[in-house]
Amino acid sequence: MPELSNALLETLLEQVRPLTARGAVASYIPALAEVPAHALGIAIVTSDGQLFQAGDAQTRFSVQSISKVLSLSVALTRYSDDEIWQRVGKEPSGQPFNSLVQLELEHGKPRNPFINAGALVVCDMLETRLTAPRQRMLEFIRQLSGTADINYDRHVARSEYEHSARNAAIAWLMKSFGNFHNDVSKVMQTYFHYCALSMNCVELARSFVYLANQGKAVDGTTILTPRQARQINALMITSGMYDGAGEFAWRVGMPAKSGVGGGIIAVIPNKMSIAVWSPGLDAIGNSLAGTAVLELLSEQLGSSVL
């Protein structure tokens, strides 16, 4: 089994680079469609703090749904388990990430916090208990990443908001079932800002090391308990990759969360966090080349958790 090194990562990227031509860049909002389609990057931070990187690892992109893990993490520090899990479930949805069908049949309780409905409920919770939820998230992610200048891409956030009809429908449907407490428009603004966090692979890998490290951030701060970190990993392995979690576990075997910006954050518990980025998406909405990089890495390191 080869040892981790920047050179190894370079080699992996070369193997999958042809795939960057095959995915489709998210285009439902103009701001996302503008990214360089062939970008490809990876960064790894081990639980003992080493950093490895290759390719476009220092180019920032829109983290999109990866932020759903962050907002859930913040919620876990402000709400009891009972308070959270009576409002959102823990099961895979077996449906597209933005469907309302299941949400109506299940009376406004989203299946899990990583589909849009679930993340909106989490943001609704944060709106209730945080005085400045957008500012708080910036502080949180700056602390996690050790990078002071991480910011929202307001252009992306505004663009998302202007194309938010589906999410508004989801929020209003939950409100009709009593599972949404704050102003829909205000919570969506927060939600879209979270999605519009602009970060690069190095920053992401560093930020998410707490999930590989029993809840402890890169700087040693306790973010979550070991059990909570494990639980988020559980949610990621069953529901982190939209309606492609099963296929991803089959191929890669790691807890992970993707975003339509082309980023994926993956975790090897007690070992490392990995961030990959390539904007071309597969039919499900996951980075095509990004998934392939992680699959190769898993094979070469023997690092599947399964």
Residue ranges for the known binding site for substrate are: 65, 116, 160, 167, 191, 242, 260
Binding part of the chain for a copy of itself, among 34-42, 66-74, 166-174, 191-199 by CB under 8 A, reads 166-174
In whole angstroms, give the CA distance from residue 270 to residue 273. 9
45-79 b/e (C-beta count within 10 Å ≥ 16 → b): bbbeeeebbbbbbeebbbbbbbbbbbbbbbbbeeb
> Which region among 14-22, 62-70, 149-157, 163-171 touches a copy of itself (by CB under 8 A)?
163-171
Q: Would you count residue 296 as binding a copy of itself (CB under 8 A)?
A: no
Place of tokens 């690892």: 57
Please report how close the Cβ of residue 223 comes to a copy of itself at its closest, in angstroms.
16
Detail the residues annotated as belonging to a binding site. Answer: 65, 116, 160, 167, 191, 242, 260
- How far is it, in rounded angstroms, from Cα 204 to Cα 101? 33
Site string for a copy of itself, 1-40 (x = CB under 8 A): ----------------------------------------
Tell me how far, at minimum, the Cβ of 245 lies from a copy of itself, in Å.
6
> Cβ(188)–Cβ(167) under 8 Å?
yes
Beta bridge partners of 25: 280
Shortest spacing between CB 14 and a copy of itself, in angstroms: 23
- Contacts to a copy of itself from residues 104-133, by CB under 8 A: 104-105, 111-112
Using CB under 8 A as the binding rule, whether residue 286 contacts a copy of itself is answered as no
Helix (H/G/I), strand (E/B), else coil: 86: coil
93 binds a copy of itself (CB under 8 A): yes
Give just the sign of the alpha carbon dihedral 172, 173, 174, 175. positive
Instruction: List helix spans (H) across 132-268.
Output: 133-145, 154-162, 165-176, 184-195, 201-207, 209-212, 226-239, 245-251
The residue written with tokens 């960057």 in the block is: 20
By CB under 8 A, tell whether 173 contacts a copy of itself. yes
How far, in Å, CA of 161 to CA of 11, rounded? 39
Question: Does position 59 bind a copy of itself by CB under 8 A?
Answer: no
Size of the site for a copy of itself (CB under 8 A): 48
Mask for 240-279, x = binds a copy of itself (CB under 8 A): ---xxxxx-xx--x-x-------------x----------
- Beta strand residue intervals within the chain, DSSP E: 24-25, 41-46, 51-55, 61-62, 151-152, 197-199, 256-258, 263-268, 272-277, 280-281
- Choose, by CB under 8 A, the member of 170, 205, 281, 297 that binds a copy of itself: 170
Q: Verify binding: residue 182, a copy of itself, rule CB under 8 A.
A: no
Q: Which residues bind a copy of itself (CB under 8 A)?
A: 89-95, 99-102, 104-105, 111-112, 165-166, 168-173, 175-176, 180, 184, 230-231, 233-235, 237-239, 243-247, 249-250, 253, 255, 269, 304-306
